[in-house]
């Protein structure tokens, strides 16, 4: 028993940590975001009292417009559907523990589920990032609809992903299930090769 090693959870992309690092001077960079807190929230978007309670709880309003997001500080809320949002917190202490959040919303007909351990978040940035995304997805990333805060659920290389434009035109977050993350990251790295040739 004394010889047993202490095990800790690791990202499914831990073995690729050296490949998934920002490179300076490259046309496209792909990196692995530090493991964010991810919470799926379901509720009534027509209930103003519910929306106000969630805003008070997470510090950021819930977006009600399709394919949009709201971000304040370390917390973002992404519109996933008429009654569904994805809450992303980059810092562990940015959100209250899930039981406390559920208690604060107990009077509303809603559901909170922690999905932090089911997905990874990749960061794709650089002037050719839209070209890389276009290689595996049928969405028009050059459309004027795409601007800061825009997000969609779609397929990338035939895998379910959430694509979110984080900041500038050339910075995207890609959320993918753990089981597909190795394949999707390989696809993205391969798609970026031609743009990073010196």
Give residue limits of the domains in the chain.
14-34+117-195, 37-116
3-class state of residue 112 by DSSP:
strand
What's the pLDDT at 131?
A: 94
pLDDT single digits (tens) 139-153: 999 888 888 999 999
Residue percentage of the chain with pLDDT more than 70: 87
**37-116 to CATH, choices 3.30.70.1520, 3.40.50.800, 3.40.50.1170, 1.25.40.10:** 3.30.70.1520
pLDDT classification of 198: cutoffs 50, 70, 90: very low
Nearest to 39 by CA among 92, 116, 127, 110: 116
Same CATH fold, 37-116 and 14-34+117-195?
no
| pTM for this model (two decimals) | 0.88
Fold of 14-34+117-195: Gyrase A; domain 2 (3.30.1360)
Edge-to-edge strand ranges of the sheet holding 151-156:
29-32, 119-125, 171-177, 159-165, 151-156
What's the pLDDT at 25?
A: 61
pLDDT single digits (tens) 45-102: 999 999 999 999 999 899 999 999 999 888 999 999 999 999 999 866 678 889 999 9
35 or 15, which is more confident: 35
Q: What average pLDDT does this structure show over 12-27?
A: 69
User: The dihedral of CA 5, 19, 165, 171: what is its sign?
Assistant: positive
- Cα–Cα dist 173/151, whole Å: 9
């Amino acid at each position: 028993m004394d010889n047993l090693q202490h095990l800790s959870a690791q990202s499914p992309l831990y073995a690729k940590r050296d490949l998934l690092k920002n490179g300076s001077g490259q046309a496209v960079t792909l990196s692995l975001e530090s493991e964010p807190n991810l919470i799926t929230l379901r509720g009534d978007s027509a209930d103003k009292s519910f929306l106000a309670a969630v805003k008070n709880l997470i510090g950021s309003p819930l977006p009600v417009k399709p394919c949009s997001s709201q971000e304040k500080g370390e917390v973002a809320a992404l519109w996933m559907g008429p009654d569904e949002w994805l809450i992303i917190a980059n810092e562990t202490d940015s959100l209250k523990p899930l039981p406390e959040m559920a208690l604060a919303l107990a009077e509303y007909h809603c559901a909170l589920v922690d999905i932090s351990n089911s997905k990874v978040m990749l960061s794709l940035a650089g002037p050719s990032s839209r070209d890389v995304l276009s290689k595996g997805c049928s969405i028009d990333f050059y459309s004027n609809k795409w601007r800061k805060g825009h997000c969609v659920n779609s397929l990338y290389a035939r895998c379910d992903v959430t694509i979110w434009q984080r900041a500038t035109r050339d910075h995207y977050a890609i959320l993918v299930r753990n089981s597909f993350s190795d394949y999707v990251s390989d696809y993205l790295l391969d798609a970026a090769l031609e743009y990073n040739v010196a």
